[in-house]
Amino acid sequence: MKANWDGPKWYIDTHSGTGFTQELGVKIPGSALRALKHDFDKFYFYEKDVGHFETLVETIDQETERSMSHGEIPDEEIPMAYSEDGSVKVMNMDCNSGVTYLAEHAGYNSHWFTFVDPERLTVERELIERLCRRGKMDILFNFQTSAFERNGSDAADHAHAKVASNLGEGFPVNGSAEDYVSYYQDDVFGKMGWKSVSRRMESERSNEWRYDLIFASKKAVALKIIDDIYTSDLKNDVAREVREWRAKTDTGQTGFGSFVSIPAVDGEDNGQASLFDFEG
């Protein structure tokens, strides 16, 4: 982004979580805490769950230099929190309406990095199309491949309306995992004139849960950089980090004030279990 854009840089997180997340049974910083270490001018965090929202605000307040205050979005009665310097805003709302609103009202002088890390099928196709129409951003989408494969099967026709709201009416019923990923890349990003690269990921303990990191951009250089990271560094980087956090947990030297470790739940696979043991 720095190489391509001199103006303001914003980070948008559609599904922000609580600030920490879990990999291989180790509690590590999640997307929000990671992003806050980077040199963005503004940060917009969206989190629908009120408990997660409260935890996230408290975590930002405790784990970073930023001091957070609570408020409401004017006239909307939607809880939000903001940092004293105004650079961080956390909204307790559905990203589909919240981020659409931001895309329509925030002006065009900033370049965005938009991270979409959903739980289940919670990203309306309309939101992604709205973001593509705004342009001036790169999008990293943690695409829930297995969720689409299962809910898009013949046996799950009760879920097809939900799948269609995420993928569009023409989604491949009974498709393979590859069908859903390539459909999204071609039919959603491609039709908006965007290019994308994707990386297959699988959960640690089984190949029963697959997701794909789809990175979409209009900048060939950004696509090239991410593709290189996907194929060369990603797996080793994640493995190294998890090892480091495990060591810190064992010695109690966490580097984060309120850090505690959470043991893995045996046999549980919520689809977010690991970035570690993916194929390829």
Ligand X SMILES: C[S@@+](CC[C@H](N)C(=O)[O-])C[C@H]1O[C@@H](n2cnc3c(N)ncnc32)[C@H](O)[C@@H]1O
Residue in the shown chain whose Cβ atom is closest to ligand X: 30
Neighbour tally for 99: CB within 10 Å? 27
Token match 């990175």: residue? Answer: 215
User: Which 164-203 residues touch ligand X, going by CB under 6 A?
Assistant: none
The set of residues, in sequence order, having a beta carbon less than 8 Å from that of 179 and lying 6+ positions away, is 172
Q: Which is nearer to ligand X, 16 or 198 (CB)?
A: 16
Residue 219 as a binder of ligand X (CB under 6 A): the answer is no
Decide if 278 contacts 201 (C-beta within 8 A).
yes
CB 174, min distance to ligand X, A: 26
Q: Which is nearer to ligand X, 119 or 204 (CB)?
A: 119
Q: Provide the residue type at 154 as one letter.
A: D
Site stretch for ligand X (CB under 6 A), options 35-43, 89-97, 102-110, 192-200 = 89-97
CB 208, min distance to ligand X, A: 18
Residue 152 as a binder of ligand X (CB under 6 A): the answer is no
Residue 269 as a binder of ligand X (CB under 6 A): the answer is no
- Report d(CA 122, CA 104) in Å as an integer: 20
Site stretch for ligand X (CB under 6 A), options 16-24, 150-158, 183-191, 237-245 = 16-24
User: Which 21-80 residues touch ligand X, going by CB under 6 A?
Assistant: 21, 30-31, 46-49, 52
Using CB atoms within 10 Å of the CB of residue 84, give its burial: 0 to 12 exposed, 13 to 18 middle, 19+ buried: exposed
Interface mask toward ligand X for 90-129; x: CB under 6 A? ----xxx--------------------x-x--x-------
Q: Which of 55, 165, 254, 272 binds ligand X (CB under 6 A)?
A: 272
Q: Kindly state the number of chain residues that form the binding site for ligand X, as judged by CB under 6 A.
A: 18
CB 121, min distance to ligand X, A: 9
Residue 241 as a binder of ligand X (CB under 6 A): the answer is no
Q: Which of 10, 11, 17, 143 binds ligand X (CB under 6 A)?
A: 17
Burial code of 11-48, b = ≥16 C-beta within 10 A, e = fewer? bbbbbbbbbbbbbbbbbbbbbbbebbeeebebbbbbbb
Decide if 114 contacts 100 (C-beta within 8 A).
no
Give, for 89, the enclosing helix (H) or strand (E): strand 88-91
| Share of the chain residues as helix, strand and coil, in percent rounded to the nearest 5 | 40, 20, 40
Instruction: Catalog residues that contact ligand X under the rule CB under 6 A.
Output: 15-17, 21, 30-31, 46-49, 52, 94-96, 117, 119, 122, 272
